[in-house]
Structure 1
Amino acid sequence: MNFMIASHSDVGIKKNTNQDSLLIKVAQTNLGKVCLCVVCDGMGGLARGELASATVVRTFENWFENAFPDLIQRGFDPEELRLQWDNIVLEQNQKISTYAASQGTRMGTTIVSLLIIGNEYYIMNVGDSRAYLLTDQLSLLTKDQTVVQYQLDMGMITWEEARAHPQRNVLLQCVGASEVVTPDFYNGPVTPDSMFVLCSDGFRHVITPEEIYDNLNPGLLVNEQKMKENAVWLTELDKQRQEVDNISVALVRTCQGG
């Protein structure tokens, strides 16, 4: 599998710092090309959220460069991948929590991570950053770990109520500010000419799923320049609609070959 990639991150119209962090890495292996994509949305006073998200992204980058080649060399095992990612979350949760306590504050970050290897994708999610898959339709691959999503699952509120709910940003857990963090894991098949979209919640609050599909579907985005342009266009649309959060999106389009 080959990949085209693009990303865009914006501080938005209200905040002084961008507390989102993202990463896209592609490497050639004996199993073909692989792609790692990570989006983290940090939270905390001053630059604390930025520190939390950047620390987790750097940890994933170090894992991809140092531990992942060994995982490939031994023979890729999805369960071993899950264990290693789970350990990253546990270690970073403790590290960030301990540092925040030493500073007399709280800080944390969401994580959504994607690994494409062979003809499969593997996703881990903590919090309310999201992963979508666009083929001939839009599919949400992750479930928000939020109070509103829980209320929705329990039938306590409707989809319409959830979209504008005053507690829509309240997380059930995040890395660094929760005693126990339990990531969600997902996997599925990958086909050529598909688009994976990873984003912070600021990217998708005030635009519709239809607008995401109409602007980011793989039939439209045939090169990296167009991918970047449309990511920027949707970000500017968010800002025009008065989205107050940081806005980040990462795009990975699959292609034949590799």
Structure 2
Amino acid sequence: MGFLSVLHSDVGIKKNTNQDSVLIKVASTDYGEVMLAVVCDGMGGLAKGEVASAALIKAFSDWFEQEFPEILYNKRTENGIDRLELENEMNQLVLEVGERISRYGEMSHVAMGTTVAVLLMAEGKYHILNVGDSRVYKLNETGLNQLTKDQTFVQKEMDQGRMTPEEAKVHPQRNVLLQCVGASEIIIPEFSHGEYKTGEVYMVCSDGFRHVIAKEEFEKLMEPKKMDTEKALKDVAVYCTELNKSRQEKDNISVILLKVC
């Protein structure tokens, strides 16, 4: 199996800088095509959020080129990549970059932080890392399925039965994160994994891409059967971005779309 993939990032209608950073890396290997997709959202109100997001993106880019081949070829189980080894390395990367961001912020007397959503696809299996409220979705015949859980105040309240999804959408603390890389003393990334199949579409996005577009709208706009070229993927990414802007989304807007083919 291979992949079609596009990325699109927009500063939006309000901010002067784009604090989002986005990465796609693809490699042809003895075990088939491998895809890495990463979206980092530099913390909205924090100074130099774009520096934090770019630092983490660069770290994942370097890791994919320099460290991941060791996992792919030499740290394997009978089922393929050793998932525990993979998660340990990704966790360590996030913690080390978080410490560097924090030290830089202290030296510069600024607060810095970033979310991160990582999707790694290899050998028919996907591996996800998440910190914050950037998200990963899967779109197939069952519709649009969210694969990550936000690390936010309102998500915690919903999990504990103290808030409904409808209340969470309008709550004044809906954008309050419980964790972000660089601005949290303790970071515990969330990991998940599963299998991917031909014809499925995956979306990795910052929160600015999905605040004002409903799940049902995404499902109508992103029909997997019609998204059969990278141009088709790009057209959808741009259309949704402009739709967000027309609805007065004030955040930066970033998305990666990829289709398994």
| Fold shared by both chains (TM-score > 0.5) | yes
The equivalent of 2:127 in structure 1 is 122
- State whether structure 2 residue 115 is matched by structure 1 residue 131: no
**2:148 alignment partner in structure 1:** 142
Unaligned runs of 5+ in 1: none
Distance 2:238 2:41 in 1: 18
Partner of 2:244: 238
Does 1:253 find its partner at 2:259? yes
- Greater Cα shift, 89-98 or 37-46: 37-46
Distance in 1 separating the partners of 2:257 and 2:149: 19
Deviation at 1:44, TM superposition (A): 6.0
- Unaligned residue ranges in structure 2 (runs of 5+): none
Establish whether residue 48 from structure 1 lines up as the match of residue 54 from structure 2.
no
Distance 1:60 1:244, change over 3 A: same
In the TM superposition, what whole-angstrom CA distance separates every residue of 1:213-247 from its partner, at most 9, and x where no partner exists?
A: 21123122111101101110010000010000000
Q: How does 1:1-258 map to 2 (within 5 A)?
A: 1-43=1-43, 48-74=48-74, 75=76, 76-136=81-141, 137-255=143-261
SS of residue paired to 2:208: helix
How far residue 105 of structure 1 moved from its aligned partner, in angstroms, is 1.4
Aligned-partner residue type, residue 128 of structure 1? D
Deviates more, 1:217-226 or 1:145-154: 217-226
Q: Provide the C-alpha distance between the structure 1 equivalents of 2:223 and 2:52, rounded to a whole number of angstroms.
A: 31
Q: Kindly indicate whether the alpha-carbon contact (under 8 Å) linking 1:133 and 1:141 is maintained by their aligned counterparts in 2.
A: yes
Q: Tell whether the 8 Å contact from 1:131 to 1:140 is kept in structure 2 after alignment.
A: yes
Deviation, structure 1 residue 47: 5.9
How far does residue 46 in structure 1 lie from its aligned partner after superposition?
7.6
Taking only the aligned residue pairs, the percentage that are identical comes to 53
> How far, CA to CA, are the matches of 2:99 and 2:49 in structure 1?
15
CA distance in 1, matches of 2:232, 2:212: 22
Shift of 1:45: 5.9
Shift of residue 187, structure 1, vs aligned partner: 0.2
Secondary structure in 1 matching 2:250: coil
How far apart in 2 are the matches of 1:46 and 1:134? 33
2:260 is paired with a residue whose SS is strand
Q: Is the 8 A contact 1:17 1:47 kept in 2?
A: no
Structure 1 distance, partners of 2:178, 2:111, is 15
Contact 1:106 1:177 in 2 (8 A): yes
CA distance in 2, matches of 1:172, 1:232: 30
SS of equivalent to 1:107: coil
- Residue 70 of structure 1 and its aligned partner are, at CA, apart by 1.4
Greater mean alpha carbon deviation, residues 115-124 or residues 69-78: 69-78
CA RMSD in angstroms, aligned pairs only = 1.1
Letter in 1 for 2:174: R
Q: Secondary structure at the match of 2:180?
A: coil
